[in-house]
A and B are shown apart, each in its own frame.
Chain A
Amino acid sequence: MYRIKKSDIVNIAQELSKEYGIFGPYIDRDAGQVMFDRLDDLSQIDLDAPIPAIPPKHVIYPHSECILKYSYDPTAKKAAIERIHSEKPKALFGLRSCDLEGIRVLDRFFLGQEFVDEFYLANRKKVFIVSNTCVKPFAQCFCACTDSGPSAKEGFDLNLTELGDEYLIEAGSEKGKAFAEKIGLAKAGDEYKDKKKKAIDISLDLFTDFAVENKAWVSRVTNRVTTGFIKEEIWEYIGNQCFECGACTFVCPTCSCFNIEDVNIGSGATERIRSWDSCSYEGYSKMAGDHNPRKPVEDRRNKRFFCKLSYSQSKKYLRPGCVGCGRCAWVCPGDIGLPNVVTYIRREITK
């Protein structure tokens, strides 16, 4: 364990920037919104800012990215294929623990199964992670119910916890430890363990009743979702509110669906683009010959909650598919973000 004066925290980013491109939370001046993105001016990093509107997943799994280029020269009768990937070193600086859990879920999806997704791997390979404990939760947070916060337990290289005018810094990997030693961070004594525990307890107390109460409910709802004991009407009601916009997928730190398209860029060359896709879109689950296992919108909606809240899915991710960030509630035009869906289902259970 190490510590650093709060006002010096940017020095760590500075040091990291010698080796890594720095991505961190900042407030966009024009729109007044917290974003998480590449920063050249490190003084813009704002570790106190509320959780960023955009989950950092886009850094390793971009909204759209070219993964392959190929071309055919008809006169020379030659084809050329070029695989596009980059292993640029990146540091995610000041990522919240829900978002770190999100990346860990994506890791299991893209890397931890039968096939390894090489493009994801390339983006993910040289990533240095500095997580940031939420010493107070934000209005929409419920990580306390989904076992993903307020402080990261693993998966980071360094983890920061604000304690008064200092940050406690824990190393979670050899890489993290080596870095901390290299830059000569001051050691923190054992008393800091207690201090951190207190800070987390205070944070947990600050979660809204909704989040705290829901703790048991998330698991009960998971039970229901898994066993299928949810009335059709509930899904139908939810389906009737859905705009099929895809927002809930795009803002979810754990959603991984993608689309692949070959785009002809002229003069015989083609780019293969991978981009975010969503289970809420009718075309997403459509198959040849007009078969669609999930044609009615409510079937597509319950699919989402099955993915976030069912045991079978949790087995794959080694945790619930929802990390409690609350973003889907922000962006849903139909107001059927995951917290609300849990509420609808629990209302049904209590009836």
Chain B
Amino acid sequence: MTYKPGICTFCGNGCGHFLKIVDGRPAGVFPSRNHPVSRGRLCVRGWNIHELLSTPQRLTDAMLRKNGGLIKVSYDEAIAQVVEKLKKFASDSPDALAILASPRSSNEEHYLLMKFARAVLKTNNIGLDSESGHRASLEVLNAGTGFAGMLGSAGAIAGADFLFVLDFDITKQNPILGSELHMARRAGAFMVTLDSRTTQIAKLSDVFMMAKSGSNKVVIAALAKILIDEGLADSAYIQKYTTGFEGFANLLGSLSYDDINTKTGISIEVLKEIARKLVSSRRAMAFYPSGISGLDVETIGFLFNLFLLAGKIGINGSGINPVTGLNNLQGGYDMGVAPDVLPGFQLLEDPKAHAAFAKAWGADIPTKKGRMPYELLSEKSSKLKALVVIDHDEGIVRYADRLKELEYIVYIGAFENPFTEFAHAVLPIASYIESEGTYTNTERRIQLSAKKADPPSGILPGWRLVCELAKKAGASWNYASPADVMNEIAAVTPPYSQVSYEKLRKSFGIQWPCDTQNPNGTEYFSADTSTKKLSFYPVKADYSIPTVSTEFPYQLMIGKAQHFWHQNNLMRLTKIPLREYNTTLLLFPEGYVEISPDDAKSLGVREKWPVMVKSHAGEMKAAVKISGEVRSGTAYIPYFIQETISKFLLEHREVLARGEDATIPVKIEKV
């Protein structure tokens, strides 16, 4: 029996698999047919995960920077230095130290790291990498429903009869969830896609709206307006379950039908048809990506409100569903890995929550909310001096210049990573199959991943390493196992209160809330059992869309993870997925800018010809890729070839922060 059941931890889907272990080394995968999320399916990443897990490119020694180079040292020596330095910086000034956690860590690692930051180092400057979009979702969902996670679940998709896919190449980014959408579509669900590029799911949709770039929010607001104007809103539902309707309805007044048409390029008739289908559906679900390339708060707010108007939040599995790109992004938030929230999305600045944690931990914790590591990095005037990074992703390299100025950087991870170049201390940890741990997928399913192989000799699992750091810093932590850590998590995290390893071992995971009311978890959010009224999200009546000038006539979109390799650092350690990634990268080693055939013609360029892309703030060189997948007037640059565009993007940080459909006005010149 060399095939051991487990879960894939590439993306937020959390598919079930078997991992083949031969002589202690991963040597193959097979899907798990009874797993409720994946039911026998895996995507290209999942089918090749053993290539990553068996890579020789592991970090196998603790290292400290001495005379410019990283020198192998004992764990003890490295831990002693790291703790001494971190304590010093933590007491230096509130902004001197930040911890950038990884959305790939287990819940137990997250929890302990968060506790280490707050209770031991006394800092709240802790946050997750590639988080912005998901945070925006949780903000809206928590404010609207008190449920800080996906409202529906993967299993409910097949039974949906209205599906709305927003700015989401779902069959590439979260393929197995995409497969559920395929299935629902084949069973007759009405499917609507809103995207500025043609994706596979767009091709399969009943209605594909290729709206003008930057106009997503206006499209959604227009649908809401139509529901009200046409008397389609579900007034009984609104009356019974919601608050804040008036305010939202009023704010739609300033949006005119003429405006809708010119701003979005979508006809009112099409929008009306969609509105009618939405309200007459039994189970309506919206899906959008949540993570580095997610939507912004306002767009999500409008979407949530649209679904409330239609009576489609918390009824029969209906709702809006942010989909996490990284395996434990949801779990990271659940564990309070954010500057302002504690486990269970309890606000740090709520005195009651704060006091409860101080008591549970028997330690003082700073009361003022912290800052996001990225904020501190990008703000030139910040006093950031030291940074701890777990399992780094691409994003941070954007701040290369700033990183070089920091006094102390600690890197903690399982695999070799180019980021260690910046580090002063490197602490290796076990990979996820070399230790037990739980991971919470995009539909709130907490899954236990068993230990299947031994770590490289002498290497500690992440949870143990954090314990060692805390102990060295003087804390009296005594966790015997990850199960032990989960017991403490359950005690302080209301939606996890009835979770235990014993229960998890007997299941394919449990969807939170798992509490005394729902001891076996909760498949989807229900308005009927909600303790509070659902509230319309307080959005702003800002219907402006980015305009182009004659000087900068193109809207440049960045970042949409069209390539499912948004986890580059890991993909680089595989063979087959890397080859697939390279099929694009090799063709365009310096990155590309995708434009429509018409635009290519008017610019007088052909495929692969070099062009300069210039904005008011910067410029970069790229090769032309001509495709019918973008509309004229729009140019698209994939974020994944960050080496090329990072400098350019650095000048447009505020655009990245605005989320997925934010654009930069540019001109394109033939060179």
Question: Is A286 interfacial (CB 8 A cutoff)?
Answer: yes
Q: Mark B194-238, 1 if CB is under 8 A from A, else 0.
A: 000000100110000000000000000000000000000000000
Residues from chain A with Cβ under 8 Å of B47 in the complex: 245-247, 250
Contact A65 B27 (CB under 8 A): yes
**Is A14 engaged at the interface, CB distance under 8 Å to the other chain?**
no
Nearest-CB distance from A180 to chain B (Å)?
Answer: 28
When chains A and B are docked, how far (Å) is the Cα of A37 from the Cα of B204?
A: 39
Pair A333/B175 contact, Cβ less than 8 Å: yes
Q: Is there an interface contact between B40 and A53, defined as CB atoms closer than 8 Å?
A: yes
In this assembly, does A209 line the interface, its C-beta being within 8 Å of a C-beta of chain B?
A: no
Q: Given A245-B41, A247-B47, decide whether A32 and B3 contact each other with a Cβ distance below 8 A.
A: no
Question: Would A62 and B1 count as touching, CB distance under 8 A?
Answer: no
A332 contacts partner chain B, Cβ-Cβ < 8 Å: yes
Contacts of A273 in B (CB 8 A): 575
Q: Is B20 an interface residue (CB 8 A)?
A: yes
Q: Are B28 and A32 in contact (CB under 8 A)?
A: no
Q: Which of A243-290 contact B (CB under 8 A)?
A: 243-247, 250, 259, 261, 263-266, 273, 275, 277, 281-283, 286, 290
Closest to B180 in A: A333
Minimum C-beta distance from A229 to chain B (A): 25
Q: Which residue of A lies closest to B38 (CB)?
A: A333
Chain B contacts with A in 1-51, Cβ cutoff 8 A:
1-3, 5, 16, 18, 20, 22, 27-35, 40-44, 46-47, 50-51
The distance from the CB of B657 to the nearest CB of chain A, in whole angstroms, is 32
A268-314, CB < 8 A from B? 273, 275, 277, 281-283, 286, 290
A297 to chain B: closest residue by CB: B200
Does chain B have a CB within 8 A of A223? no
A286 with B583: CB separation less than 8 A: yes
Name the contact of A28 in the complex, choosing from B5, B46, B50, B575 (C-beta under 8 A).
B5
Of B5, B42, B203, B580, the residue contacting A240 (CB under 8 A) is B203
Instruction: Say yes or no: A331-B31 contact (C-beta < 8 A), given A243-B178, A263-B56.
Output: yes
Cα A332 to Cα B171 in complex, Å, equals 13
**B33 contacts which of A40, A241, A330, A332 (Cβ < 8 Å)?**
A330
A63 contacts chain B at the CB level, 8 A cutoff: yes
User: Across the two chains, which residue of chain A brings its CB closest to B44?
Assistant: A245
In the bound complex, what is the Cα–Cα distance between A275 and B50 (angstroms)? 11
Interface contact A63-B580, CB-CB below 8 Å: no
Cβ contacts under 8 Å, A243 to chain B: 43-44, 171, 175, 178-179
Main secondary structure on chain A at its contact with chain B? Answer: mixed
Interface string of B578-593 (1 = CB under 8 A from A): 0110110011000000
The interface residues of chain B, by DSSP majority, are classed as: mixed
**A259/B576 contact (C-beta < 8 A), A31-B16, A39-B1 known:** yes
Q: Report the bound CA distance from A264 to B416 in whole Å.
A: 14
CB distance from A31 to the nearest CB of B (A): 4
Shortest CB-to-CB span from B151 to chain A, Å, is 23
Query: Would B41 and A30 count as touching, CB distance under 8 A?
Result: no
Bound Cα distance A197, B245 (Å): 73
Residues of the A chain whose Cβ atoms lie less than 8 Å from the Cβ of B28 = 58, 62-64
- CB-nearest residue of chain A relative to B41? A333
- Residues of chain A contacted by B33 (CB below 8 angstroms): 33, 53, 330
**A240 — nearest CB in chain B belongs to which residue?**
B203
> Which residue of chain B lies nearest to A54 when distances are taken between CB atoms in the complex?
B30
Asked whether B40 lies within 8 Å of A331 as measured between CB atoms, the reply is yes
**A265, B576: Cα distance in complex, Å:** 17
A55 to chain B, nearest CB (A): 10
What is the minimal beta-carbon distance from B651 to any residue of chain A, in angstroms?
Answer: 32
Interface code B171-203, partner A: CB below 8 Å = 1, 0 otherwise? 100011011001100100000000000001001
Interface centre among A54, A62, A245, A250 (most CB of B within 10 A): A245
Bound-complex Cα distance A290 to B585 (A): 11
| Complex contact A63–B29 (CB within 8 A) | yes
Instruction: Pick from B28, B50, B582 the residue with the most CB of A within 10 Å.
Output: B28
Asked if A26 is at the interface (CB within 8 A of a chain B CB), the reply is yes
Contact among A33, A58, A261 with B575 in the assembled complex (CB-CB below 8 Å)? A261
Residues of A49-63 at the interface with B, using a CB-CB cut-off of 8 Å, are 53-54, 58, 62-63
Could you tell me the distance in whole angstroms from the C-beta of A336 to the nearest C-beta in chain B?
Answer: 10
Q: How far is the CB of B480 from chain A (nearest CB, A)?
A: 23
A334/B182 in contact, CB under 8 A: yes
What is the distance, in angstroms, from B287's C-beta to the closest C-beta of chain A?
16
Task: Name the residue in A53, A273, A277 with the highest tally of chain B Cβ atoms < 10 Å from its Cβ.
Answer: A53
Task: Give the residues in chain A near B50, CB-CB below 8 Å.
Answer: 63-64
Is the CB of A38 closer than 8 A to any CB of chain B? yes
Q: Is A141 an interface residue (CB 8 A)?
A: no
Chain B: CB-nearest residue to A40: B1
A255 vs B98: C-alpha distance in the bound complex, in angstroms? 51
Minimum CB–CB distance for A252 against chain B, Å: 13
Given A63-B27, A63-B29, A283-B582, A245 and B5 contact (CB-CB distance below 8 Å): no
Known: A31-B16, A265-B56, A333-B175. A37 touches B44 (CB 8 A): no
Q: Which residues of chain A come closer than 8 Å to B175, judged between CB atoms? A: 243, 245, 333
Closest to A33 in B: B33
Flag if B29 contacts A333 (CB, 8 Å): no
B546 CB, nearest partner CB in chain A, Å: 32
Asked whether A63 lies within 8 Å of B176 as measured between CB atoms, the reply is: no
Given contacts A31-B34, A333-B176, contact A281 B44 (CB under 8 A): yes
Q: Please judge, given known A-B contacts A63-B20, A273-B575, A283-B580, whether A247 and B31 are in contact too, CB under 8 Å.
A: yes
Residue of B nearest to A239 (CB): B200
Instruction: Give chain B nearest CB distance to A255 CB in angstroms.
Output: 13
Residues of A within 8 A of B22 (CB): 62
Residues of B within 8 A of A245 (CB): 41-44, 46-47, 175
- Contacts A33-B32, A53-B33, A335-B186; A264 near B1 (Cβ below 8 A): no
Task: List, in ascending order, chain A residues with CB within 8 A of B46's CB.
Answer: 245
Give the nearest-CB partner of A332 in chain B.
B41
Q: Which of B18, B56, B182 contacts A31 (CB 8 A)?
A: B18
Contact residues of B between 577 and 635, Cβ < 8 Å to A: 579-580, 582-583, 586-587
Tell whether A53 pairs with B30 under 8 Å between CB atoms, given A275-B575, A275-B576.
Answer: yes
Expressed in whole angstroms, the Cα–Cα distance for A331 and B178 within the complex equals 14
User: For residue B22, which residue of chain A has the nearest CB?
Assistant: A62
Q: Does A218 contact B (CB under 8 A)?
A: no
In the complex the two chains form, what is the Cα distance from A283 to B583 in whole Å? 6
Q: B5–A283 contact, CB under 8 A?
A: no
Contact of B43 among A30, A240, A261, A333 (CB under 8 A): A333
| Shortest Cβ distance from residue A248 to the other chain B in the assembled complex, whole angstroms | 11
Cβ–Cβ < 8 Å partners of B56 in chain A: 263-266
Q: Which residues of A contact B586 (CB under 8 A)?
A: 290
Q: Which of A221-248 contact B (CB under 8 A)?
A: 240-241, 243-247
Chain A residue with minimal CB distance to B54?
A64
Contact at B576–A277, with CB atoms within 8 Å? yes
- Is the Cβ of B42 less than 8 Å from the Cβ of A35? no
Contacts of A330 in B (CB 8 A): 33, 40
> Mask for A312-351, Cβ within 8 A of B = 1, else 0?
0000000000000000001111110000000000000000
Measured between beta carbons, the chain A residues less than 8 angstroms from B51 are: 64, 275
Q: How far is B182's CA from A241's CA once the two chains are assembled, in angstroms? A: 8
Q: How far is the CB of B631 from chain A (nearest CB, A)?
A: 21
Q: Can you name the residue of chain B whose Cβ is closest to the Cβ of A32? A: B34
Is B18 touching A35 in the complex (CB atoms < 8 A)? Answer: yes
Q: Contact: A244 with B44, CB < 8 Å?
A: yes
Within 8 A of B (CB), among A142-201: none
A33 to B43, CA, bound (A): 19
Provide 19 A-B residue pairs closer than 8 Å at the C-beta atoms, listed in order of the A residue: A31-B18, A31-B32, A38-B2, A39-B1, A40-B1, A53-B40, A54-B3, A64-B50, A64-B54, A243-B44, A244-B44, A245-B41, A246-B47, A259-B579, A266-B56, A281-B580, A283-B583, A286-B583, A335-B182
Residues of A at the B interface (CB closer than 8 Å) are 26, 28, 30-33, 35, 37-40, 53-54, 58, 62-65, 240-241, 243-247, 250, 259, 261, 263-266, 273, 275, 277, 281-283, 286, 290, 330-335
**Closest 10 pairs (CB-CB, A-B):** A63-B28, A333-B179, A31-B5, A283-B579, A265-B56, A283-B583, A261-B575, A333-B41, A283-B580, A30-B5
